[in-house]
Amino acid sequence: MGEQSIPPQENGIPEKQKASNPNGDNSMEIPSSEDDEFEDMTPEDFEKLDSQLDALNSALDDMEQQNDNIHAKLVQLLNENREVRQQLQVLEPKSGSSKES
């Protein structure tokens, strides 16, 4: 009765060393040490990675700027639409009389 359960291991890797991908399956593995991953990288590899990260950061900045521009245009459009609706409500008679054709 006093037995402890042992978590299952797949391919000899304990569950706590596995990462889940967005689909929820545990097919990605976490390296046991971050240093092991970087030991094999040459200075050229680091420069290439740094360049790729800079390009990614630049692309994300551009996307953020475009998103801000779209948001500003949307707010402007909504405000203009609100003003036009308010003007139409003032111009239209509220008594319910029929419009002339």
| Per-residue tens of pLDDT for the chain, all 101 residues | 455 555 555 555 555 554 555 555 555 565 555 666 777 889 999 999 999 999 999 999 999 999 999 999 999 999 999 999 999 999 886 655 555 54
Res 83: pLDDT: 96
Res 15: pLDDT: 52
- Asked if 26 and 20 touch (Cβ cutoff 8 Å), the reply is yes
Res 68: pLDDT: 98
* pTM for the whole structure: 0.49
* Token output for 99: 């419009």
DSSP code for 99: P
Query: Which amino acid would we find at residue 39?
Result: E
Res 39: pLDDT: 79
Res 93: pLDDT: 66
β-bridge mates for residue 28, sequence order: 19
